[in-house]
Chains A and B, each alone.
Chain A
Amino acid sequence: MRVVRSGILFAALLLAPAGQAADNAAIKEKAAVCSGCHGENGISQTENIPSLAGQPDQFLQWQLVFFRAGSRKNDQMQPIAEEITNEDIRNFGAYFSQMTPPKAEEDKDPDLSKKGAQVAIGRRCASCHTDSFAGTKAVARLAGQREEYLVKALHDYKAGARVGGGVAAMADVAYHMSDEEITAVSHYLAYFR
């Protein structure tokens, strides 16, 4: 028994670094298709396209699973997601989650952020997205995300165009939000440091 176990351990030690390096190269190549829209290093420079860098691993995987299943709809993402395997999804999740998240620029409208902070309290955003809004597990990072993308995402949830996980918690939260609230909270989160 002990021999077997140490044998496995030995094999694992030998294999893991080599296997990982190979995976990284392969996934980097596959992820090249993402950077066209989502930006180099996972930081988007394109309007209405989210940054992926530093999003929680599980959150990224869930979105790909939702796109593939058709429960999240998007003309660009659906055809891509339909082609990918479970293994790809796990690899993409690991790859983008390990990148350095975007750093928010200087806030030019602190008054709007103040309003947004109140909205975030009222809507209990931090209970799931965490106090730093960095997200966790299946819950998205919001801090430093593109402002107009956050607005779009909240409108998508509000309109029922996107359901999301967590017993549809986001659809239910956004349903009650006014356009003003969405504008303010998106600004607050995009510039949150």
Chain B
Amino acid sequence: MTSMFHRSVLALAAVALLAGTSAGSAQQQDKNRALKKYESGTKEFWTHPPDDWFLGDETEAQKGLAPPSGPPTGASDAELANLVKKIKLPPGFKIDVYASGVLAARQMAWGDKGTLFVGSFGLGNVYAIKDNNGKKEVKTILKGLNMPTGLAVKDGALYVIAVDKLIRYDDIENKLDNPGEGKVVYDDMPSYAAHGWKYIAVDKEGWFYIPFGPPFNVGIPPTSVSQIRRVDPKTGNAEIWALGVRNSVGGDVDPRTGKYWFTENARDWVSDDLPSDKLNMISKIGEHFGYPYCHQGDLPDPKFAMGHKCSEFTPPVLNLGAHVAPLGMKFYTGDQFPPEYKNNILIAEHGSWNRHKYQGGRIMRVIVGPDGKNAKQEVFASGWIEGDQGYLGRPDDIILAKDGSILVADDWAGAIYRISYSKK
């Protein structure tokens, strides 16, 4: 099997060379080049990550699929008003725009005095959204951070995680105009940008669950990543709670058991329908979730299984579907939604970038008991995808509001939505 693969790659390369010389132009050659072969199972690979770490490994049929780029200034208010009309929800639910102009919005966290803090992706901003008599004022309070996607508020302080630094800004709600430089409270983290963006879930003891993604699609990861740590922001002490995790950018602590559940984005470039992204639960400290050896609980990696069997690893609670890109998630603990939603999990799916027909880009509802058995999922909110490869928006995080409604962050439209329920 392996030798056949090599032979066909060589054949392809020869064809490409011939085609290149006959066509003559540089561009033609580039187009006909053989697919890049990655040697990601070496240390060299991640100490000097290749320029196209998120590509490579693609098949001929997948060539040309690349991350789409959203509107740089988000969606305008007029576009958002139009957009929310297209979102489908179960009966009795309603979606409104909560705030616009929150460019590249990622994880959200509430301050004790009602300020909504929002992280962002490549822009490096952290926002504070205040309610001024019903009108939402969006203020950029921090700038120039390195992908500050994850944040949390605890004891009046805002914690922001920017790839390799967990930074604390004390008494934040009284210092929105001048939060200061902050204090780095934990930095035992590698600086890889690739899958280095993070998420924070606070547990009952006030420790933070933080995911560490590998700096590539698939390979043998550096031992400092592909894991989930539990970090005490007070002391900087840390524990490794889960191993074998690829790119996780969302999770929540089960209000029933205190256990940590998290979403995980599976490897790319197998096919449009494999492998599935996952919802996982950590039952005990140190569990291994399979990456890079086994995907979706039952699919040994074609190259990196390296003799391991899927039965060696903790299986997912639920396979969510291929390329749906599950990110932020929350247990629904509010009282506004119908009672059957209590303790269900709501997951924001960012949607595909390297699937021929995009899927995800919606909010899913997972119904599951505290043991994680017999989980079921159904679509809760959808309509952000148009056509095969078009986005109106991309949900990426969920947070509960005091009144039991939920807020949804969207980094494509640069907006926060509110979804509420009222009996008819």
Contacts and interface: CB of A to CB of B under 8 A. Distances in A.
Interface residues of B, number: 32
Contacts of A90: 73, 76
A143 to B, nearest CB: 11
Interface in A49-105: 58, 61-62, 64-66, 69-71, 86-87, 89-90, 93
Given A58-B72, A168-B193, A173 B67 contact: no
Contacts of B49: 172
Given A89-B72, A117-B26, A165-B122, A123 B51 contact: yes
A57 B49 CA distance: 30
A166 B121 CA distance: 11
Interface string A107-132: 00000000001101101111110011
A168 B31 CA distance: 22
B111 interface: no
A169 B122 CA distance: 12
Contacts of B72: 58, 61-62, 64-65, 89, 93, 138
Contact of B101 (A86, A117, A169): A86
B69 interface: yes
Interface in B23-38: 26-27, 29-31, 33
Contacts of A128: 66
B216 to A, nearest CB: 12
Interface string B1-36: 000000000000000000000000011011101000
Contacts of A175: 51
A163 interface: yes
A2 interface: no
Contact of A167 (B27, B54, B124, B125): B54
Given A58-B72, A89-B73, A166-B67, A65 B103 contact: yes
A124 B101 contact: no
A176 interface: yes
A192 B124 CA distance: 35
Contacts of A176: 48, 51
Nearest to A57: B72
Contact of B51 (A66, A71, A172): A172
Contact of B52 (A62, A86, A117, A124): A124
A70 B51 contact: no
A131 to B, nearest CB: 4
B144 A70 contact: yes
B71 interface: yes
A185 to B, nearest CB: 11
A65 B27 contact: no
Contacts of A120: 26, 30
B103 A131 contact: no
A71 B101 CA distance: 17
Contact of B144 (A71, A125, A137): A71
Interface of B: 26-27, 29-31, 33, 48-54, 66-67, 69, 71-74, 76, 101, 103, 122-125, 140, 143-144, 193-194
11 contacts: A58-B69, A69-B143, A93-B72, A126-B26, A126-B31, A128-B66, A131-B31, A165-B122, A166-B69, A168-B193, A172-B49
The 9 A-B residue pairs with the shortest CB-CB distance in the complex, in nearest-first order: A138-B69, A61-B72, A86-B73, A131-B27, A173-B51, A172-B51, A117-B26, A70-B144, A62-B72
Given A126-B26, A138-B72, 17 more contacts: A61-B71, A61-B72, A65-B103, A69-B123, A69-B125, A70-B144, A71-B123, A71-B124, A86-B74, A90-B73, A124-B30, A131-B31, A166-B66, A169-B52, A172-B51, A175-B51, A176-B51
Interface of A: 58, 61-62, 64-66, 69-71, 86-87, 89-90, 93, 117-118, 120-121, 123-128, 131-132, 137-138, 163, 165-169, 172-173, 175-176
